[in-house]
């Protein structure tokens, strides 16, 4: 069993170490919209009954429109993590479908740590790559997070499709994780899945809508891959409330949600710039800061009961998420101001 | 890919075939409490944030008390089905831990169809067995649903522990699915898991509490098995609302819930007896009826927009769940009365 990764969101542990009541901490350690959208009413039926075909189909149709999939009905899954866990099976599935498919994985990084952890634990070689030229015939799967977490690096769809085409020539597949893609729909390749044939797209519902506790993601992929994921997850993998809430919200005013996030992001930028911090990347939902003493900065913020995200592999990086309001911005500004830099 | 099993709960399909509005159907095809418990308030945090350590630990502690596990902290999972999907990995895990463990599965049946489907699809031989004498050294895993679905057959804990001991001698494990066990806590072996060492217990949250849409179950097992399941499911497998709701309800008035179910069950018995039906088994949440023309009976009830559960493998069986109220009982009684028998 591989060592667990230290993710954001560990407020309980942080409060145990640095003191303070849970509710008094300012959690900037995740990339989740800090202003959760108002929940649409959840019918009693959604809690009570197993999710029926109609409920699932309704959510899939709403997701097809929202993610602009060109007719592919996305598969709802209980969080993107649940399908990351299934990537070792996808490797075997691809190898069975495409006898020439390689058994190594090319991971565009540095990126979200769970990809390397899950695949390495299952015995696959994971090669960190920085650009398309590093992809070799032995790579049965390449993984791109677009835009990337935590760097914010983004790939244009044309470049992604070129990488997919290159992998296809050797029986390989390309997985694009668009978990932070809602604010930049022009980057998405979800609409190219059907024509491309070896492209799999993961979408995360909870980050943009601020409902990470719901545990919901969607997979956009060719039909055989969707059928395989559905089979591996088994029936009723997603909760009824997640299906009904997501349908309503994807059909609602998503532009207002995006505007709210960008306003919060502007607030964060102003605080960081005011404190003389160096922003080196990010997405709409977080900023990546470079700082000579990022670990010390992390600790000093913890002492002020503000949790950010540090990285073992990059000791000069700090990822800072959005505060829920201007008061949160001020609190961060004050804490940064009081520190020696 | 194996063919999907026709489960209960297919109201959408039934309405498409037999007509009627969804909300006008009486769904007696599942084994779910038809009177869902009032939902405790779900804090905004549970929807918004990834479930944190404290939320998970609170639910585990409540489950340890409710399921009387003698100190084992049950692992919350997104529905029992999610861990049935992982049984092929458990087989490999057991074989690795216990070199003598066999590669065949003994399934006490007939029972819930997903066990045979998932294990056979992964290439394991599944031997249907009726009693303990059929267990052989080649069986690395035996599976008992207690009380059983759909027959209602129940095993005494002493007999189950004897089977577990027998399997242990050959490096095998025993899985006991207590999905319908809430009404008969004296049947549970959840309190014996730690001392027994090769015993795994699955519990279902949604059936008894009438909240199947929540997707929640618990695994009670020795620590290495719990750690393996947790690793295979990955972080944040269960939704925040499921964790907070279950904690509150398991600590609430479960006796009142049981009394409500037994009252509804008495109503169903009276209807069936009044119609001269032969009850051959069941649990608190459903009755198994034997009828020479069970398939025709199923269709006639569908024509009255009442959905029950038939079985391909037992054409004389019909499983009938609880109606939500006396009005539902009367509707079933009327439909049975109007039929030729």
Interface predicted TM-score (ipTM) of this complex, two decimals: 0.91
- Three-state DSSP at A338 gives helix
Instruction: Report cis status (omega within 30 of 0) of the bond before A4.
Output: no
Question: Does the distance separating the beta carbons of B53 and A13 come in below 8 Å?
Answer: yes
Whether B274 contacts chain A with CB within 8 A: no
Q: Please tell me the pTM assigned to this model.
A: 0.94
From A305-319, B12-26, B61-75, B255-269, the region with the lowest mean pLDDT = B12-26
A100, with CB counted inside 10 A (0-12, 13-18, 19+), is exposed
| pLDDT at position A1 | 39
Question: Does the distance separating the beta carbons of A242 and B4 come in below 8 Å?
Answer: no
CA-atom Rg of chain B in angstroms: 20
Rounded Cα gap, residues B179 and B202, in angstroms: 7
Q: Return the ∠ at Cα B96 (arms to B56 and B146), rounded to 5°.
A: 55
Phi/psi for A290 (5° steps) reads -105, 135
pLDDT tier, B93 (very low <50, low <70, confident <90, very high otherwise):
confident
Q: Which residues 31-60 of A have a C-beta within 8 angstroms of B?
A: 32, 36, 39, 44-54
pLDDT tier, B286 (very low <50, low <70, confident <90, very high otherwise):
very high
Are the beta carbons of B229 and B238 closer than 8 angstroms? no
Are the beta carbons of A49 and A240 closer than 8 angstroms? yes
What domains are there in chain A, each with its CATH number? 11-30+255-340 (3.90.1150.10), 44-250 (3.40.640.10)
Question: Which residues pair with residue A192 across a beta bridge?
Answer: none
Per-position DSSP letters for B115-175, written without gaps between them = HHHHHHHTT-EEEEESSGGG--TTEEEEEEESS-TTT-----HHHHHHHHHHHHHTT-EEE
Q: Suggest the residue from A23, A47, A212 to mutate for an interface test with chain B (most B CBs closer than 10 A).
A: A47
Chain B residues with CB under 8 Å of A11 CB are 52
Q: Which residues 230-259 of A have a C-beta within 8 angstroms of B?
A: 231-242
Q: Which residues 114-143 of A have a C-beta within 8 angstroms of B?
A: 114, 118, 121
| pLDDT at position A4 | 57
Q: Suggest the residue from B13, B48, B82 to mutate for an interface test with chain A (most A CBs closer than 10 A).
A: B48
Answer with the residue of higher pLDDT: B292 or B52: B292
Chain B residues with CB under 8 Å of A121 CB are 231
pLDDT in tens, B187-208: 999 999 999 999 999 999 999 9
Answer with the residue of higher pLDDT: A92 or B228: B228
pLDDT at B6 over 70: no
> Which position has the token pair 């990470």?
A212
| pLDDT at position B180 | 98
Rounded Cα gap, residues B231 and B8, in angstroms: 31
Whether A3 contacts chain B with CB within 8 A: no
Chain A residues with CB under 8 Å of B214 CB are 47, 239-241
User: Could you say which residues of chain A have pLDDT below 50?
Assistant: 1-2
Min Cα–Cα distance to chain A from B53, Å: 6
Rounded Cα gap, residues A173 and A102, in angstroms: 10
Which residues, 6 or more positions from B90, have their beta carbon under 8 angstroms from its beta carbon?
B141, B173, B200, B225, B228, B229
The alpha carbon of residue A64 and the mean position of all alpha carbons in its chain are separated, in whole angstroms, by 18
From A97-111, A223-237, B215-229, B276-290, the region with the lowest mean pLDDT = A97-111
| pLDDT at position B96 | 75
| pLDDT at position A92 | 87
Whether A213 contacts chain B with CB within 8 A: yes
Are the beta carbons of A11 and A22 closer than 8 angstroms? yes
| pLDDT at position A93 | 86
| pLDDT at position A339 | 81
pLDDT at B4 over 60: no
Are the beta carbons of B320 and B287 closer than 8 angstroms? yes
Of A53, A213, A234, Cβ closest to residue B51: A213
pLDDT at B166 over 90: yes
pLDDT at B99 over 90: no
Rounded Cα gap, residues A31 and B53, in angstroms: 18
**What is the overall mean pLDDT for chain B?**
94
Nearest Cα residue to B33 out of B313, B258, B201:
B258
Chain B: residue whose CA lies nearest to A228: B1
Question: Does the distance separating the beta carbons of B234 and A81 come in below 8 Å?
Answer: yes
> Which position has the token pair 């194996």?
B2
């Amino acid at each position: 069993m591989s060592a667990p990764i230290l993710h954001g969101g560990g407020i309980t542990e942080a409060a145990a170490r640095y003191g303070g009541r849970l509710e008094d901490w300012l959690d900037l350690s995740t990339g989740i919209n800090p202003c959760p959208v108002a929940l649409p009413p959840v019918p009693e039926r959604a809690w009570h009954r197993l999710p029926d075909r109609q409920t699932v189909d309704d959510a899939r149709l709403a997701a097809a429109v929202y993610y602009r999939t060109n007719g592919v009905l996305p598969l709802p899954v209980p969080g993107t993590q649940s399908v990351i866990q299934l990537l070792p099976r996808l490797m075997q599935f691809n190898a069975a479908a495409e006898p020439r498919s390689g058994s190594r994985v090319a991971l565009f990084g540095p990126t979200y740590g769970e990809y390397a952890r899950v695949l390495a634990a299952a015995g696959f070689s994971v090669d960190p790559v920085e650009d398309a030229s590093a992809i070799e015939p032995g790579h049965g799967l390449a993984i791109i997070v677009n835009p990337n977490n935590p760097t914010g690096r983004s790939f244009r769809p044309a470049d992604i499709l070129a990488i997919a085409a290159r992998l296809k020539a050797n029986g390989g597949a390309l997985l694009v994780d668009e978990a932070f893609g809602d604010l930049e729909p022009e980057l998405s390749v979800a609409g190219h899945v059907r024509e491309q044939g070896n492209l799999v797209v993961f979408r995360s519902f909870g980050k943009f809508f601020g409902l990470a506790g719901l545990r919901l993601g969607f997979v956009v992929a060719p039909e055989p891959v969707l059928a395989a994921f559905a089979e591996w997850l088994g029936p009723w993998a997603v909760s009824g409330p997640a299906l009904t809430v997501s349908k309503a919200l994807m059909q609602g005013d998503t532009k207002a949600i995006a505007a709210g996030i960008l306003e919060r992001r502007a607030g964060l930028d102003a605080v960081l710039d005011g404190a003389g911090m160096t922003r080196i990347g990010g997405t709409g939902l977080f900023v990546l800061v470079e700082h000579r003493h990022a670990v010390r900065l992390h600790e000093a913020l913890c002492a002020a009961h503000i949790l950010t995200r540090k990285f073992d592999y990059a000791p000069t990086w700090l990822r800072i998420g959005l505060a829920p309001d201007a008061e949160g911005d001020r609190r961060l500004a004050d804490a940064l101001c009081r520190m020696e830099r």
